[in-house]
A and B are shown apart, each in its own frame.
Chain A
Amino acid sequence: MPATLFDKVWDSHVVRKIEDGPDILFIDRHFIHEVTSPVAFLGLANRGLKVMFPQKTFATADHNTPTINQHLPVEDPLSAKQLQALEVNTALHGISHWGLGNPKNGIVHVVGPENGITLPGMTIVCGDSHTSTHGAFGAIAFGIGTSEVEMVLSSQCIMQPKPKKMRINVNGRLGRGITPKDVALYIISKLTAAGATGYFVEYAGEVFRNMSMEGRMTVCNMSIEMGARGGMVAPDETTFAYIRDREQAPSGEAWEQALSYWKTLKSDEGAAFDLEHYFDAADIEPMITYGTNPGMGMGITQHIPTAGEAGGGKSSYEKSLQYMGFREAEGMLGKKVDYVFIGSCTNGRIEDFRSFASIVKGRKKADHVTAWIVPGSHVVEKQIREEGIYDILIEAGFELRQPGCSACLAMNDDKIPAGKYAVSTSNRNFEGRQGPGSRTMLASPLVAAAAAVTGVVTDPRELLAEEELVASL
Chain B
Amino acid sequence: MAYDKFTVLKSRAVPMPIENVDTDQIIPARFLKATERKGFGDNLFRDWRYDAQGAPRKDFVLNDPTYSGKILVGGKNFGSGSSREHAAWAVYDYGFRCVVSSFFADIFKNNSLNVGILPVQVSPEFLDKLFSAIIANPETELEVSLPEQVIRIPATGDSESFDINSYKKHNLMNGFDDIDYLQAMKDDIGAFAERSRY
Q: A residues engaging B (CB < 8 A)? A: 15-16, 18, 20-22, 24, 26, 28-29, 35-36, 38-39, 42-43, 47, 49, 52-53, 56, 63-64, 76, 78-79, 81-82, 85, 119, 121-122, 127-129, 131, 143-148, 150-151, 154-157, 159-161, 163, 193-194, 197-198, 227, 229, 261, 293, 312-316, 319, 409-411, 418, 428, 430-433, 436-437
Whether A147 contacts B1 in the complex (CB less than 8 A), given A16-B188, A313-B19, A430-B25, comes out as yes
B52 near A161: Cβ-Cβ < 8 Å: no
Whether A431 contacts B24 in the complex (CB less than 8 A), given A22-B167, A53-B193, A227-B105, comes out as yes
Q: In the assembled complex, how far is the CB of residue B38 from the closest CB belonging to chain A, in whole angstroms? A: 10
B19 near A315: Cβ-Cβ < 8 Å: yes
A293 near B166: Cβ-Cβ < 8 Å: no
Q: Mark B20-47, 1 if CB is under 8 A from A, else 0.
A: 1010110011101111110000000001
A15 near B189: Cβ-Cβ < 8 Å: yes
A155 near B29: Cβ-Cβ < 8 Å: no
A22 near B88: Cβ-Cβ < 8 Å: no
Q: Mark B53-83, 1 if CB is under 8 A from A, else 0.
A: 0000000000000000000000111001111
Q: Mark B104-125, 1 if CB is under 8 A from A, else 0.
A: 1111001100110000000000
A28 near B196: Cβ-Cβ < 8 Å: yes
Total interface residues on B, CB under 8 Å, equals 58
Whether A129 contacts B167 in the complex (CB less than 8 A), given A24-B182, A159-B182, comes out as no
B85 near A313: Cβ-Cβ < 8 Å: no
Q: In the assembled complex, how far is the CB of residue A145 from the closest CB belonging to chain B, in whole angstroms? A: 3
Known contacts A20-B165, A261-B197, then 18 further A-B pairs from the complex at CB < 8 Å, ordered by chain A residue: A22-B168, A36-B83, A56-B198, A85-B35, A121-B197, A128-B83, A145-B88, A145-B107, A146-B86, A147-B85, A147-B177, A159-B181, A159-B182, A197-B103, A315-B19, A430-B25, A431-B47, A432-B24
B77 near A194: Cβ-Cβ < 8 Å: yes
Chain B neighbourhood of A53, CB < 8 A: 193
- CB of B148 closer than 8 Å to a CB of A: no
Chain A neighbourhood of B107, CB < 8 A: 129, 143-145, 229
Give the one of A82, A145, A156, A163 with max B CB within 10 A.
Answer: A145
Chain B neighbourhood of A148, CB < 8 A: 85, 110, 114, 178
Chain B neighbourhood of A127, CB < 8 A: 83, 85
B179 near A197: Cβ-Cβ < 8 Å: no
Q: In the assembled complex, how far is the CB of residue B20 from the closest CB belonging to chain A, in whole angstroms? A: 4
- CB of B49 closer than 8 Å to a CB of A: no
Chain A neighbourhood of B34, CB < 8 A: 38-39, 78
A436 near B47: Cβ-Cβ < 8 Å: yes
B198 near A122: Cβ-Cβ < 8 Å: yes
